[in-house]
Structure 1
Amino acid sequence: MDLLEYQAKELFRQIGIPVLPSQRIDHPTDLKRLEIPYPVVLKSQVPTGGRGRAGGIRFVENTIDAIAAARSIFNLPILGCYPQVLLAESRYDAEQELYLAVILDYALGRPVLLGSRQGGIDVVGVMAHMQKVVVEQEFSSFYARRLALKMGLQGQLIESVSGIIQKMYQLFLQKDLDLVEINPLAINSRSEVMALDGKISANDSALGRHAELATLASSMPESYPNRVSDLNWTDTEGNIGILCNDTCLAAATLDLVYQEQGKPASCLILDGYASWDVQATSSPVQQLQSALKQITEAKGIKVILVNILSSGSASEQVAQVIANYLVSKWGEGSVLKAADQAERPMGLTSRSHRVHHNGTHTLSKQSVSLTQLPHFVIRIVGGKIDSAKERLATIPVHWMDNLDEAVAQAISLANSKVRPS
């Protein structure tokens, strides 16, 4: 469960992480009773990234402009989500912005501290300076200071930033969280730090142990849960699409792709179903179908890397949903045979594929269906997926058990000059 920004900042405030004066706005007319001085920034409260580029963040100087901006933001969908709440917050003059995060790395089975001396919406810049510290033993201030030093911080900033990291980790442990992120952590001319934006992902399985988080979950608008969201750490010039079923798993996958010099174009997360209990609800199937459609239709994507970690029964159904989707694109009985795939890897139905007496292949212009689908590299952990593999045996889908190998395969295909057609 991903908290909204204003909810995350309330937890920041309780743990001692500095945040700006702010006020929840449920209706544009609430701005007539605004208790913080202008100028202010109005922020759409939706559980997705990309709010700034979509127009969901506006700076305003007075009440009239604020009400007009709020009306516009309330009616602005961001990745299909309309905000039910806005956050009005004081402006802050930042001279420097950092990125900080504490995540649970499923591959390592350990918490990991992340930090970049460049924060904000420039994802390429953030990732280019990203530093990592694995918490291998009981946490101490040593880990926080080590990350601050690796980020290249000096003087007073080492103490102030490492102090923020320690509080983030304390919150991470206290609430059984999967992710605590501050982007950006702003620094002003007096070297004071301020969390300008925050994200918290709570572990669904731990909600029973934290009544306050369960209360927040119950207060989330009905239009938010079980959504497909976009992890906003990607490259606008990338050509690899990533699909995961957990925020931390997605972060780890993105990190590996960037380390191997790959360029992710989009990273979709099937939020709220880290465990994918498909017997309890049919929503994950609909989510996956929606995500597959969204990511395959995105411009510029040559390869889709699917990385799903779930229970055995859920993995089997995930594999079948993917198989059904791909078969529907090619036609169950009309996919190209292996001998033809070398020339024509994807996208042609057999109805438009003709073999002449001399062995050459031609296409009927009247019946050709070019889908321009990307290559698929699929890693599904758990369950028996042999039947899905058999159904897709004649389609160039790459099944991988090892994540490093899957990432290497995806990058190799993305760098290839041959594109499916």
Structure 2
Amino acid sequence: MDLLEYQVKEWFGEIGIPVLPSQRIDHPTDLKRLKIHYPIVLKSQVHAGEREKAGGVRMVETTIDAIAAAQNIFNLSIWGQLPEVLLAESKYDAQQEFYLAVVLDTAVCRPVLLGSTEANIDLELADQKMQYVVVEQEFSPFYARRLALKMGLQGTLMQSVSTVLEKMYQLFVQKDLDLVEINPLGVNQAGEVMALNGKVRVNERSIGRHPEIAAMATKTVNRHDYRNKTNGRLGELNSLDKQGKIGILGNGTGSIMATYDLVVSSGGKPGISLNLRHATITDAAPTKFYDRLIKGLNTLVENNTQVILINLLGSVPQPEEAAQAIAQFIIQNKGDQPLLTKSNGSKRSHHHSPHLVVRLAGSELNAARDILTALKTHEDGLILLEDLDEAVAAAVRLTKSPVQKKVS
């Protein structure tokens, strides 16, 4: 369960992580009773990324402008989500912006501290610019200072960042979290640090041990029929909405967002949406796109997805291998045969085969298109298209078809 930003900021303030003066806005008229000084930043509170690009973050300098902006943001759908709450926050002039996180690395079963002197870094370069320290024993300030030093920080700034990391780890343990993230951590001209945005992911198995978190989870379930529909930073395969009928696989956040929005606007119900472009920074071993594609296909089938919509745009590493993975998936799912083999050699459980719609766009995918075109002559269950609108329409049409035609 992911918290909204205003909830994250409340937790940060309680534990001692510096946050800006802010106020929850439930209705545009609340801005007439604003307790913080202009200029302010209005932020849409939704479980979705790319808020700023979508227009969900606005800086305003007067009450009139704030009310008008709030009305627009309340009516702005981002990934099919309308905010019920906005966050009004003081403007902050950051001279530098860092990235910090404490994350549970399931590969080594230990917490890991992550840090970079660049916020919102290009994921292609994340492994080069991100520093990390594995918390191998009982936590001590040593781990936080070690990460700050690896980030190249010195003096007062090193101490300030280390202190924030200690508080983040304290929150991580107290609340049984899977992730505590500050992105960005702003640094002003005086060298003071400020958590400008944050993300918290609660371990769902631990919710029952925390009554206040259980109450938050209940409200979330009652108000929304969605969870975070897209992968978190670095493309982890962990954002599952088991209610949607159309599972989405893509090779970039932008392509997944576009696909998701088109499915919603076409009357479909998107479900699990996975970004296969990147593995996690702390993976014990490198992963190939082929492996992530197979894992994504299996994840969707195991959750009984009715239609799998694959949207590959532009460059994909080893496109022939990606096409072979799709071909293998189709062949092994003919007639509800056992699914792809697990990494340990065992077979997965019995599931119904989903429909498969594949959209390939870009000359670099010609090799993959040739392989799947040849396969399509023998497998009439595969729908192969180049136009995204047509692919989405086909996927939505399949979910509404009275006859369940399998991939065969």
With the shorter chain as reference, the TM-score category is 0.5 to 0.7
The question of 1:231 aligning with 2:257 is answered no
Deviations 1:20-79 (A, max 9, x none): 010001111111111111000000001111111111100000011111111111111111
Q: Give the counterpart letter for 1:103 in structure 2.
A: V
Conserved 8 A contact 1:347-1:371: no
Conserved 8 A contact 2:13-2:19: yes
Conserved 8 A contact 2:276-2:289: no
Q: 1:300 aligns with which of 301, 314, 338?
A: 314
Shift of 1:233: 4.6
Shift of 1:214: 1.0
Shift of 1:82: 1.0
* CA RMSD of superposed structures (Å): 4.4
The question of 1:254 aligning with 2:312 is answered no
Conserved 8 A contact 1:348-1:370: no
The CA distance in 1 between the partners of 2:46 and 2:369, in whole Å, is 45
The question of 1:83 aligning with 2:83 is answered yes
Structure 2 residue aligned with 1:215: 215
Correspondences of 1:379-390 after superposition (within 5 Å): none
Structure 2 residue aligned with 1:416: none
CA pair 215-136 structure 1, distance change in 2 beyond 3 A: same
Which runs of 5 or more structure 2 residues have no equivalent in the other structure?
Answer: 236-249, 257-270, 327-339, 360-366, 388-405
The question of 1:165 aligning with 2:147 is answered no
Which runs of 5 or more structure 1 residues have no equivalent in the other structure?
Answer: 279-283, 331-340, 354-367, 374-390, 395-421
The question of 1:346 aligning with 2:351 is answered no
Q: Give the counterpart letter for 2:224 in structure 1.
A: S
Shift of 1:159: 0.6
Correspondences of 1:108-119 after superposition (within 5 Å): 108-119=108-119
CA pair 79-121 structure 1, distance change in 2 beyond 3 A: farther
The CA distance in 1 between the partners of 2:52 and 2:164, in whole Å, is 25
Q: 2:385 aligns with which of 357, 371, 376?
A: 371
Deviations 1:350-369 (A, max 9, x none): 5589xxxxxxxxxxxxxx96
CA pair 75-263 structure 1, distance change in 2 beyond 3 A: farther
Structure 2 residue aligned with 1:176: 176
Shift of 1:260: 5.7
CA pair 177-49 structure 1, distance change in 2 beyond 3 A: same
Conserved 8 A contact 2:42-2:86: yes
Structure 1 residue aligned with 2:12: 12
CA pair 124-92 structure 1, distance change in 2 beyond 3 A: farther
The CA distance in 1 between the partners of 2:227 and 2:383, in whole Å, is 33
Q: Give the counterpart letter for 1:229 in structure 2.
A: T
TM-score, length-scaled by structure 2: 0.67
CA pair 349-32 structure 1, distance change in 2 beyond 3 A: same
Q: Give the counterpart letter for 1:223 in structure 2.
A: H
Deviations 1:273-303 (A, max 9, x none): x9x9x8xxxxx545xx57x42xx23533646
CA pair 3-297 structure 1, distance change in 2 beyond 3 A: same
Deviations 1:136-162 (A, max 9, x none): 111111100010001111111111100
SS of structure 2 residue aligned to 1:102: strand
The CA distance in 1 between the partners of 2:199 and 2:210, in whole Å, is 18
Conserved 8 A contact 1:40-1:61: yes
Question: How many residues are treated as equivalent by the alignment?
Answer: 322
Deviations 1:332-384 (A, max 9, x none): xxxxxxxxx9994214565589xxxxxxxxxxxxxx964359xxxxxxxxxxx
Shift of 1:192: 0.4
The question of 1:53 aligning with 2:48 is answered no
Q: Give the counterpart letter for 1:346 in structure 2.
A: L
Shift of 1:168: 0.3
The CA distance in 2 between the partners of 1:72 and 1:258, in whole Å, is 44
Shift of 1:110: 0.6
Deviations 1:77-111 (A, max 9, x none): 11111111100000001000000000001111111
Structure 2 residue aligned with 1:42: 42
SS of structure 2 residue aligned to 1:43: strand
Q: Give the counterpart letter for 1:137 in structure 2.
A: Q
CA pair 121-39 structure 1, distance change in 2 beyond 3 A: farther
The question of 1:324 aligning with 2:354 is answered yes
Shift of 1:241: 5.4
The CA distance in 1 between the partners of 2:383 and 2:207, in whole Å, is 48
Conserved 8 A contact 1:95-1:187: yes
Structure 1 residue aligned with 2:26: 26
Identity level (%): 49
CA pair 193-14 structure 1, distance change in 2 beyond 3 A: same
Conserved 8 A contact 2:113-2:135: yes
